[in-house]
């Protein structure tokens, strides 16, 4: 199963565990060099009531809820409901509010012939045109700088995340910019010399936060 991750800007979280946002953004190069094209998720593995499962870090033994998923011109829009009666989901909800758990990641299979490689700005990216969506997950940090959660209430700060970035050697300004707006907030293009190093460091940060 392939995965494509996206950082989410936690603004608010409703007391009933609902949230909305984008689990994937179309036509955007993520830090793993993948691009999902509009309408790429031609099939979705759904529950009996037509929802897509939400998991913890792609572990289908640790489900967290379900969501209505639709595709628009911007990306894969999700209207999620967390199962707050499950203890680890309640814990994840608190981490979302504190800004520590701030990413979404889609889990999908590419159908045969559903992806091609293309050169963009001197680098090769994988263009995903046809895929089957299995689930999306709550993850500590995502790789797509464009995705965002629009409604999650009672958020606090993301200072813990900033501290992790400082630990990787970023300046206070860079850490604040990355925590607030993701990769593009630094004003760097994907082809800039520092981009590859930044991507590698952010992947290290993802592993540092990985759920056990």
Residue 82 inside a domain? The answer is yes
Residue 55 inside a domain? The answer is yes
Please state, in angstroms and rounded to a whole number, the distance separating the CA atoms of residues 44 and 193.
38
Which CATH number does the domain housing residue 81 bear? 3.20.16
Q: In the chain, which residue ranges form alpha helices assigned H by DSSP?
A: 87-98, 159-167, 172-181, 195-208
Please state, in angstroms and rounded to a whole number, the distance separating the CA atoms of residues 62 and 73.
31
Does the pLDDT at position 166 exceed 70?
A: no
Return the percentage of the chain with pLDDT > 90, whole number.
34
Q: Which domain holds residue 87?
A: 2-156
Residues labelled catalytic: 58, 105, 135
Residue 171 inside a domain? The answer is no
Query: How confident is the model over 30-57, as pLDDT tens digits?
Result: 777 889 999 999 999 999 999 999 999 8
Which of 24-33, 72-81, 179-188 is most confident? 72-81
Residue 98 inside a domain? The answer is yes
Can you give the pTM of this predicted structure?
0.64
Q: What is the pLDDT of residue 64?
A: 96
Query: How confident is the model over 57-90, as pLDDT tens digits?
Result: 889 999 999 999 999 998 999 988 999 999 999 9
Mean pLDDT across the chain: 74
Task: Confirm if 151 and 12 have CB atoms less than 8 A apart.
Answer: yes
Beta-carbon count within 10 A of 73 CB: 8
The pair of structure tokens assigned to 212 is 């056990």
Q: What is the pLDDT of residue 151?
A: 43
Number of folded domains that form the chain: 1
Residue 178 inside a domain? The answer is no
Cα dihedral 174/177/178/183 (nearest 10) = -100
Does the pLDDT at position 12 exceed 90?
A: no
Residue 188 inside a domain? The answer is no
Q: Poorest-confidence range of 49-58, 71-80, 169-178, 189-198?
A: 189-198
Residue 164 inside a domain? The answer is no
Q: Which residue has the higher pLDDT, 176 or 142?
A: 176
Q: Which residues contact residue 67 at a Cβ distance below 8 angstroms, ignoring those fewer than 6 apart? A: 51, 52, 54, 78, 79, 80, 81, 136
Q: Which residues contact residue 136 at a Cβ distance below 8 angstroms, ignoring those fewer than 6 apart? A: 23, 24, 52, 54, 55, 67, 69, 76, 78, 104, 105, 106, 107
């Amino acid at each position: 199963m392939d995965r494509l991750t996206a950082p989410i800007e936690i603004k608010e979280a409703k007391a009933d565990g609902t949230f909305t946002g984008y689990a994937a953004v179309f036509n955007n190069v993520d830090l793993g060099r993948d691009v999902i094209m509009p309408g790429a998720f031609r099939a979705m593995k759904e529950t009996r009531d037509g929802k897509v499962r939400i998991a913890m870090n792609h572990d289908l033994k640790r489900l967290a809820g379900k969501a209505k998923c639709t595709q628009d011109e911007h990306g894969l829009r999700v209207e999620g409901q967390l199962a707050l009666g499950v203890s680890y989901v309640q814990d994840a909800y608190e981490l979302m509010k504190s800004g520590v758990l701030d990413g979404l990641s889609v889990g999908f299979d590419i159908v045969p012939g559903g992806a091609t490689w293309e050169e963009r700005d001197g680098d090769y990216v994988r263009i995903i045109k046809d895929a089957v969506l299995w689930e999306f997950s709550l993850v500590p940090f995502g790789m797509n700088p464009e995705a965002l959660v629009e409604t999650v209430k009672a958020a606090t700060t993301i200072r813990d995340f900033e501290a992790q970035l400082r630990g990787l050697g970023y300046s206070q300004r860079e850490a604040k910019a990355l925590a607030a707006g993701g990769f593009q907030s630094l004003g760097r293009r994907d082809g800039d010399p520092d981009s590859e190093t930044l991507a590698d460091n952010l992947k290290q940060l993802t592993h540092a936060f990985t759920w056990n």
